[in-house]
Structure 1
Amino acid sequence: MEIDYGLYLITDRSFLKGRDLKKVVEEAILGGVTLVQVREKDISTREFYNVALEVKEVTKHYKVPIIINDRLDIAQAIDAEGVHLGQSDMPIKFARKILGKEKIIGISAGNVKEAVEAERDGADYLGIGTVFYTGTKKDIKTPIGIEGLKEVCNSVKIPSVAIGGVNETNFKEVLSTGVNGISVISAILGKDDIRQASKNLNSK
């Protein structure tokens, strides 16, 4: 499967201000989003399943891949294109056994060691960061910055997306490091005009 990592949207319903998630995701895709990750914290499995299924209706219509954050069971249940795992989630080799070779597995990496290990273990892509301070990750250590991003990106051959505080004012500098794309939450979902926000960030 050929994946375009250029503009990678991570969902966070706390930014929606009462707006419909399906409609917001559709507007984001129409503005240029190429990949959607459904990320949910502190909700039941049933609710996560329902949210993911709703988003998949939109992504399937526009032929945009859908990735599920952390939850292999949800990814399997809705037949998502893949899953994104953090450093404290299930090891890649076991995730691969469960999901099979056809599915995409992304891994979060904050340094060269984590990136090299993820590539060696069979990750399809990396989410590198956190690049800058961000309101959506309260527990992060010091951001790696542009130089750190460049170093991690250049340590592997698999595709990578930059995550953490990437927005319309810094995304061009971020893309100059060699990453394949940018991963955003508030830079799209926090805006009033979702489609225009996506267009503004479109790395094309």
Structure 2
Amino acid sequence: MNPAPNLVLVGPMGAGKTCVGRRVAEQFGLRLVDADREIERIAGTSINTIFEIEGEAGFRARERAVLATLLGEDGIVLSTGGGAVLDPDNRRLMRERGFVVHLMVSVEQQLARLARDRSRPLLASGDREQVLRDLSTRRAPLYAEVADLVFDTDRHDSTAAAEWLTRALEAQWQRTADTRASSATAGQCEDGPATVPSPPNPETR
């Protein structure tokens, strides 16, 4: 069982957050939400257009509002944009309202995976490799700050990554359940056993 209300995937663009998230959501019977797609749905236009008209600051404001709404829900797998961790409020909500998984990827793999992708506004101009390295330098410590679990996707396709993540989550959540059960037993008194509230998410399959 998931002890947190939601499962949150963070990491750089090209790490496979949405693909892996979709497979993990299917395994646990949860709903996948892609934050970037939700921003586009609400805005009625593409992220590229939002960047062109409002700049990155405008996009980040929209992202902050969407994440606040989504993380107010329970029982979702949330795929976040690569820069979602830049905002301190986003990071706080992720820690408070989710079990956070950091999907890592090297710049070399990013370049290979994103070679034909023209939907990334931050890669629209300049040296792609240098841009990705600069982003990594700035964001990597923030991913580490919020992460409960880390997985390197470099040598794994989305299927293998999702299978590993599913097993790791089940093991992690079982340890949490065992710890809670032990704490409840230790807290027993003459009036009877202590009550431990059930996690809000459905049981894993």
TM-score, length of structure 2 as denominator length: 0.35
Richer in strand (by share): 1
Higher relative contact order (CA 8 A, sep 6+): 2
TM-score, length of structure 1 as denominator length: 0.35
Richer in helix (by share): 2
